[in-house]
């Protein structure tokens, strides 16, 4: 018995001695938002290494298209931030148009040391540009992708980039996603990287606040066509769905995942603005907030659940972010820290709220963990406002004044990788599949 007790004591002792060490290994500080978002974005040396060999032209006159393709593919995968990209200066000099020309040692050994290798060729197929695209695991020598894409050079590069992202992460990429934004009083629609911008809507002297529905099939915005600002809802191919026809200012629309419209309006009278929910065509409006001469604006559905709405209210003095059930019940402040908050935007996975925060002329983009309320500042150059999430919840589009005029910019969720998207003016971006 005594021995058993001694044995037990020893084991207990050893276990106790080890326990703190094991716990220390397990405990990533659960509340550190910077660390959290850091795991979402892969930085070089902190994940797999991807090499992208320049694609080879196999048709006369395809040289310009190949140059564009190579440039776009690189930019897409760099911004996707799902792997480190091995710099092209380290690559072997020989061309790599197809698997038959692939020498694995050249890519797995020094100095490339790639884990994955993307390559292929562009050729002419019945008058259309076509790309044979490959992805290999260089270490196991396994072919992961062998596919063909046809169309415009930018488009097929985007498609291949998304194919690679899907394979490496299991999640949909964003290279084929689109953004809409306000430019010169009209609403423009463009590829996610700002190219192929075109006017989507110009039905009014000055259009504002476009917002895609979570599925990207609809877009709502504000028009002054009737003289009083009201909401217009269109399908993303341009067809008119409906809107509001109130005689008081009605603004900042947001569409729920099941197709309901939230907006703020002064129709209640009393000198304030309140939040309403209506059908997508503007019918059957119901009032959710009712606070005397206070401003309740910028409603934004939780796009994941559709059960909650974040909004801005100045009922506590300065404009702050509140959240309520989509029925209007359970209204409560979520981020209250003085100063002024504006334009909340709920991430598609429901996890984060991005918003504009500041005061005295300086406004920056912040991200808050919805669960803990912890904040992370993402921008600091110029004024930065109106954040909008990428469909994969890993990137944010916003408007910035850093170049001297408002333009749409993009960045990763940790604030890195900031790049300009619009040229010639851009505000209030919205981003969808």
Partner 1 sequence: MSVNKRTALALGVLLMLAMSAPGGGAQKDKEVYAQFKVAFDELKNEVIVLERQVRSLQESQDRASGQMSTLITQIIDNVTAIRQAQSRIAEGSNSAISQVNGIDERISAVNQRIDRLSNQIAEIKKLVENLPKLPTFTEITPGNPDQLFAAAYGDYSRGNYDLALSEFRQYVETYPSTEMADNAQYWIGECLLAKKQFNEAIAEFDKVNTLFPKGDKVPAARLKKGMALMETGQVEAAKAEFQAIIKLYPRGSEAVLARQQLGEK
199 binds partner 1 (CB under 8 A): no
Alpha helices in 39-190 (DSSP H): 63-80, 104-108, 153-169
| Segment interacting with partner 1 (CB under 8 A) among 128-136, 182-190, 220-228, 303-311 | 303-311
25 binds partner 1 (CB under 8 A): yes
Please identify, using beta-carbon distances, which residue of 245 and 286 lies nearer to partner 1.
Answer: 286
Contact mark string toward partner 1, 278..297, x via CB under 8 A: --------xxxxxx------
327 binds partner 1 (CB under 8 A): yes
6 binds partner 1 (CB under 8 A): yes
* Among positions 177, 211, 260, 331, the unique one binding partner 1 when judged by CB under 8 A: 331
CA distance 164 to 173: 8
Q: Which residues between 87 and 126 bind partner 1 (CB under 8 A)? A: 87, 89-90, 110-111
CA distance 248 to 229: 7
11 binds partner 1 (CB under 8 A): yes
| Segment interacting with partner 1 (CB under 8 A) among 32-40, 198-206, 218-226, 383-391 | 32-40
Please identify, using beta-carbon distances, which residue of 31 and 143 lies nearer to partner 1.
Answer: 31
Please identify, using beta-carbon distances, which residue of 66 and 295 lies nearer to partner 1.
Answer: 295
* Among positions 249, 259, 349, 382, the unique one binding partner 1 when judged by CB under 8 A: 349
CA distance 63 to 348: 39
419 binds partner 1 (CB under 8 A): no
Please identify, using beta-carbon distances, which residue of 26 and 94 lies nearer to partner 1.
Answer: 26
* Among positions 150, 325, 381, 403, the unique one binding partner 1 when judged by CB under 8 A: 325
Q: Please report how close the Cβ of residue 41 comes to partner 1 at its closest, in angstroms.
A: 11
Please identify, using beta-carbon distances, which residue of 5 and 198 lies nearer to partner 1.
Answer: 5
Please identify, using beta-carbon distances, which residue of 46 and 147 lies nearer to partner 1.
Answer: 46
CB distance 246 to 207 below 8 Å: no
Q: Please report how close the Cβ of residue 370 comes to partner 1 at its closest, in angstroms.
A: 5
215 binds partner 1 (CB under 8 A): no
Contacts to partner 1 by CB under 8 A: 2-3, 6-7, 9-11, 13-15, 17-18, 21-22, 24-28, 30-31, 36, 39-40, 44-45, 87, 89-90, 110-111, 286-291, 302, 304-305, 307-308, 325, 327-331, 349-351, 369-373
């Amino acid at each position: 018995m005594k021995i058993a007790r001694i044995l037990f004591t020893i084991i207990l002792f050893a276990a106790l001695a080890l326990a703190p060490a094991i716990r220390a290994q397990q405990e990533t500080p659960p509340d550190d938002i910077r660390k959290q978002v850091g795991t979402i974005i892969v930085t070089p040396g902190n994940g797999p290494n991807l090499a992208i060999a320049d694609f080879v032209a196999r048709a006369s006159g395809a040289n310009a298209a190949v140059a564009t393709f190579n440039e776009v593919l690189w930019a897409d995968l760099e911004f996707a931030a799902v792997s480190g990209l091995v710099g092209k200066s380290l690559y072997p000099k020989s061309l790599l148009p197809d698997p038959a020309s692939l020498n694995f040692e050249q890519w797995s050994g020094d100095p490339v040391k790639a884990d994955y290798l993307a390559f292929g060729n562009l050729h002419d197929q019945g008058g259309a540009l076509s790309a044979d695209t490959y992805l290999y695991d260089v270490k196991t020598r396994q072919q992961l992708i062998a596919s063909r894409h046809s169309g415009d050079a930018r488009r097929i590069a985007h498609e291949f980039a998304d194919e690679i992202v899907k394979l490496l992460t299991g999640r949909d990429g964003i290279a084929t996603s689109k953004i809409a934004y306000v430019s010169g009083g009209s609403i423009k629609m463009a590829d996610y990287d700002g190219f192929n911008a075109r006017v989507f809507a110009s039905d009014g002297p000055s259009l504002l606040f476009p917002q895609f529905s979570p599925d990207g099939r609809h877009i709502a915005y504000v028009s002054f066509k009737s003289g009083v600002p009201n909401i217009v809802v269109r399908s993303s191919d341009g067809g008119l769905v409906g809107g509001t026809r109130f005689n008081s200012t009605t603004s900042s629309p947001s569409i729920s995942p099941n197709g309901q419209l939230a907006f703020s309006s002064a129709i209640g009278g009393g000198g304030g603005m309140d939040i309403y929910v209506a059908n997508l065509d503007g019918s059957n409006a119901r009032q959710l907030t009712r606070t005397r001469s206070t401003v309740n604006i910028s409603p934004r559905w939780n796009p994941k659940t559709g059960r909650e709405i974040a909004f801005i209210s100045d009922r506590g003095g300065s404009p702050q972010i509140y959240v309520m059930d989509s029925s209007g019940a359970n209204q409560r402040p979520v981020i209250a820290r003085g100063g002024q908050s504006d334009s909340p935007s709920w991430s598609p996975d429901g996890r984060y709220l991005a918003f504009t925060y500041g005061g005295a002329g300086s406004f920056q983009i912040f991200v808050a963990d919805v669960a803990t309320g912890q904040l992370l500042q993402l921008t600091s150059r110029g004024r930065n406002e109106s954040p909008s999430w990428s469909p994969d919840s890993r990137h944010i589009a916003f408007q910035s004044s850093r170049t001297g005029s408002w333009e749409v910019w993009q960045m990763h969720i940790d604030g890195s990788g900031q790049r300009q998207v619009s040229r010639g003016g851009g505000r209030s971006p919205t981003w969808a599949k």
